[in-house]
Structure 1
C-alpha cells in the first residue's frame, strides 16, 4: 500500500497570471495558487500595489513577479504576457480578476444618468480586456494540451439591484456568455473555461449586508475565493468547464 498521499490541487510549476491582484480578492487568489506550487504573475492598475504585494509574497517564499499596467490597453496586455514568458515561461493559467475601474464604486449611477462612455469603461475592463488576454494565451494552452481560464464575476449579473450597477452587470454578463462558448471551442484541447461569481465580499463595506443576507452570516474573504480558484485550475477539475460557480455564502437575496 502506498502511504504517500498525493497533494490535492497540486499545480507545481504551472505559470499563472492573475489580473487586478495587488490586493483584496486578487491577492488572495495569488497566494492560494502560489501555495499550491504555481509561479504567479501579479498585475494591478496601480504599480505601488504590485510592488508591495510582490515584496510580501517573496518574503513568504513564493515565486512571483510584477507586471503592473492597465489591461484595457492592448500594448499593455502584450507587455504583461511578455513579462510572464520572460520570467517564468508560457502561461498555463489566466485568472481574469480585474473588474472594478479605479473610480468605482464611488461612480455608481442609475441608468438614466449614465452616458455611453460609462458603459464603454466597463466593457473595456470586464469584456474586451478578457478577450484580449485570452487571445494572447489560449493557442499556446491548446498546443500544450493544458490550460485554465477563469473569469471572476459578480452576482450582480444574476440579480437585478437598484444601486446603479446596470453598466457593470451588463459587461459581466457579456463575459459569461463568452466564457460558455469558448469552453466548447477548446474543451477537447485540454483547456477549461469557468467563472466564479462573487456575492458580498469583505470589501466596499459589505460586511453588515452579508451578515443579514447570507446563510453563513458573514462576508466572503480573499481566502474563500482563492480556495475555489485553486480547485478550478487543478488537474482534478479537468471535467469542470463552461460553468459559473456562485460563491455567495448562500445569499438570501440571489
Structure 2
C-alpha cells in the first residue's frame, strides 16, 4: 500500500522495453514510464528515429537507450534483449507497441483484394513478434516474481470498419487471445498481462473523425496512452490481468 511519501505508480528500479517507440504513441509510453522512474529501452524499425528520440530524452535527464531493429526477425529480437540487459538489466515491463508495418495505412486493401502475404506481414508483427519477445523475457519475470506484459491493440478487433483492416484486425485479435491465456498461466508468479485497445488517435489524420465520433470530442494522444500504460506497469495494477481496456474517448461504450 502506498504511503504519503511513496507516489502512486512509482517505477523506480524497473526496466522497460517499448517496441515501435521512436515516435508517436510509443514515444509517449516511453516518456510516461521514464517519468515514473523506469529505465526504458526505445526500439524502432528505423535506427535514426530510435537514436534521436533516445538522445532527446537523455538530454532531459531520463534513463533511456536505443535498441533499434526489425522485431519480426528472431535474431533481432534476441539482439534487442541483449542490448537491454547490457545497458539496464533484466526487463520487468514489456510493452508491445509496434503494430503498423512500413507502408501502412497507404497499403490498406479490402479482404477480397488481399493475398496470403498480406496476412503474413501483419501476423509477423502483431502476433509472432509478440510471442517471440514475450518468450525471451517471461522466465526471468516469473523467477523475480514481477513482470508486466502490455499489448497495445486497436478497436478494429472489436468493431467492424470499411477501411480494409481485416488482416490487421485478425492479427490484433489473435494477440489478445494469447494475452488472456498468458495471464492465467503466469498470474501466480507475479506477472500480469493486459492490453489497451485504442480508438481514434491523433496520427494518420483521424482528428476530424474523432471530433464527430467520440464522447469527449477529440482524438487520443501519446500522453493518454502513456498514462494508461504507466498504471498497468505499476505495482498498483497487480490485481489487473487478462483484461482488454478500451482507451477510445468513448467512441465505443458497450
Q: TM-score normalised to the size of structure 1?
A: 0.98
> In angstroms, what is the RMSD of aligned CA positions?
1.3
Cα gap change, 1:148/1:140 in structure 2, threshold over 3 Å: closer, same or farther? same
Name the SS of the counterpart of 1:28 in structure 2. Answer: helix
Q: TM-score normalised to the size of structure 2?
A: 0.98
Question: Deviations 1:193-222 (Å, cap 9, x if unpaired)?
Answer: 000000000000000000000000000000
Question: Deviations 1:103-162 (Å, cap 9, x if unpaired)?
Answer: 100000000100000000000000000000000000000000000000000000000111
Name the SS of the counterpart of 1:232 in structure 2. Answer: helix
Give the gaps of 5 or more residues in structure 1. none
For 1:120 and 1:24, how far apart are their aligned partners in 2? 25
Name the SS of the counterpart of 2:151 in structure 1. Answer: strand
Segments of 4+ in structure 1 off by > 3 A? 2-5
For 1:241 and 1:156, how far apart are their aligned partners in 2? 21
What is the CA-CA distance between 1:83 and the residue it aligns to? 0.2
- Work out whether 1:138 is the aligned partner of 2:138: yes
- Work out whether 1:62 is the aligned partner of 2:65: no
| Alignment check: 8 A CA contact 1:213 1:253 kept | no
- The size of the alignment, in residue pairs, is 253
Match in the other structure for 1:22: 22
Question: Deviations 1:62-85 (Å, cap 9, x if unpaired)?
Answer: 000110000000000000000000
Give the gaps of 5 or more residues in structure 2. none
For 2:3 and 2:77, how far apart are their aligned partners in 1? 45
For 1:21 and 1:162, how far apart are their aligned partners in 2? 28
